[in-house]
Amino acid sequence: MKSIRPLLIPVLWEVLFLIVMQLVPTKTLPVYFIFYLGLILWFVRRNLHADRETESKKISLRDVRGFWLPVLLTTLGMVICYEIKTRVIQEFLFIPDGTINIWMSDSYAGILFYGVTTILAAPIAEELFFRQAVLEAGFGEQRSIPRIVLAVLASFLLCALTHAIGWLGILEAILMVLPLTIVYLRTRNVRIPMLVHIAFELYAGFPSVLYVLVRLSLR
């Protein structure tokens, strides 16, 4: 029970976020930023990853095999999942995108706000919540396969609901976070999926940012 209690406030915070998203769907970027900022402040305050000796403390950033190789392979896995989503599911099978698109305003300030929200705040907040906190609750003091499976499913669902429109969007969101979930379960090191998430957001978001920058420069 102790491992589940810290999740109560973040889950309620997500419920409030989902309600607000339904009320003001055209203001997605500021709403997402506030949501992510709240999660970061909560988990920094709780300091979940600092009050117990886990494998994440034993893995050094200098460890090529234990740290950088998982980062590289997981990033590759996310890119593959992204290409499957966009080129196979959407373009080849003609199935519309079921995830929420976060738009940036057509200004330099808008680009900066978009970058801070999607490339920095989102990876930190989502990995602390959906991967570390939720999955660690599945391990608990009495580790069992059913408990871990439930934690993985909860992680998938909570994450998908923040990005999805309907069941198709949920499935697409689960596909995208599958590599992040696998690498955290294998390493128990939140820094790995966090770094991968940042790298992927740079990969996926760069074309949109570049397009807006070109438009602004041609005005």
User: pLDDT by residue (tens digit) across 176-198?
Assistant: 999 999 999 999 999 999 999 99
Contacts of 103 (CB under 8 A, 6+ apart): 28, 29
Gap between the Cα atoms of 133 and 147, Å rounded: 14
Print the domain residue range for 129.
5-217
Please give the pLDDT value at position 170. 93
Tokens (6 digits) for 200: 């992927």
Residues 199/75, Cβ–Cβ less than 8 Å: yes
> Which is more confidently placed, 22 or 142?
22
What are the distances in angstroms from CA 148 to CA 54, 153, 175? 17, 9, 19
For the chain, the residue count is 219
Please give the pLDDT value at position 56. 46
> Which is more confidently placed, 68 or 215?
68
Q: Given CA atoms 151, 188, 14, 156 in this order, what sign does their dihedral have?
A: negative
**Closest C-alpha to 182, from 157, 148, 205:** 148
Our count of domains for the chain comes to 1
Which of the four pLDDT bands, split at 50, 70 and 90, describes residue 46? confident
Q: How deeply is 35 buried, as exposed, middle or buried, from its count of CB atoms within 10 A (0-12, 13-18, 19+)?
A: buried
Q: What average pLDDT does range 147-166 have in this prediction? A: 93
For 72-76, 81-85, 116-120, 135-139, which range has the lowest pLDDT when averaged over its residues? 135-139
Gap between the Cα atoms of 47 and 42, Å rounded: 8
pTM metric for this prediction: 0.90
Please give the pLDDT value at position 95. 85
